[in-house]
Chain A
Amino acid sequence: KAGVTQTPRYLIKTRGQQVTLSCSPISGHRSVSWYQQTPGQGLQFLFEYFSETQRNKGNFPGRFSGRQFSNSRSEMNVSTLELGDSALYLCASSLSSPGGYSSGANVLTFGAGSRLTVL
């Protein structure tokens, strides 16, 4: 079956602009979560959506937002870009919410990521 698809794979923006990233989960997966990966901070959890509702949110400013559609596809948006937003943004899908006691249903399948460069 098809994996998690993220678009675009690479993009370059300038400070102050905004960006929208897209994620198509594995068919049947209802949870989509987003992560930021940088050399300095490692992998950090941004937020998680399940059935179009944000279930959990990491410690990022309000410039970072997301949404999930009825077909489970998800988008994340970063407004007023800063140089420090340059990162690999990873999306992952799972059958159920990634946290908690779910006996394997919460295992994450990641996409290849969207690499954002802010100039």
Chain B
Amino acid sequence: LAKTTQPISMDSYEGQEVNITCSHNNIATNDYITWYQQFPSQGPRFIIQGYKTKVTNEVASLFIPADRKSSTLSLPRVSLSDTAVYYCLVGEGNTDKLIFGTGTRLQVFP
């Protein structure tokens, strides 16, 4: 199976912008890239989804290069409540099996 990799952890301070990258070099041609946030003892929660270029919603932006082999989740002005684990999710090429990224643990400090 193709690996979908993310940095293991990141630290930030309140008010800063955080960018988390996911590498997915075997993404299915017709599949969206979706990012989820997970707090302890809870299921993941949808953040943002995109297919190409840039998508922005009220909480985040998602940047996807033309080759779609990676994506970057951008969280503007993080707060303490953004401390969580962030996962990307893609469909694998040829199999359509869903592959979660390895997850990035974001710690926000005051």
Contact = CB atoms under 8 A, between A and B. Distances in A.
B79 to A, nearest CB: 23
B43 A42 contact: no
A100 B30 contact: yes
Nearest to B96: A99
A113 B40 CA distance: 11
Interface range for B: 20 to 34
Given A44-B100, A100-B31, A101-B32, 17 more contacts: A35-B100, A42-B101, A43-B44, A43-B87, A43-B100, A45-B98, A56-B97, A90-B44, A100-B28, A100-B30, A101-B51, A104-B49, A109-B46, A112-B41, A112-B42, A113-B42, A113-B43
Interface of A: 4, 33, 35, 42-45, 48, 56-59, 90, 92, 98-102, 104, 106-113
23 contacts: A4-B43, A42-B101, A42-B103, A43-B87, A43-B100, A45-B99, A45-B100, A90-B43, A90-B44, A98-B91, A99-B91, A99-B96, A99-B97, A100-B28, A100-B91, A101-B51, A102-B32, A107-B46, A108-B89, A109-B46, A110-B36, A111-B43, A112-B42
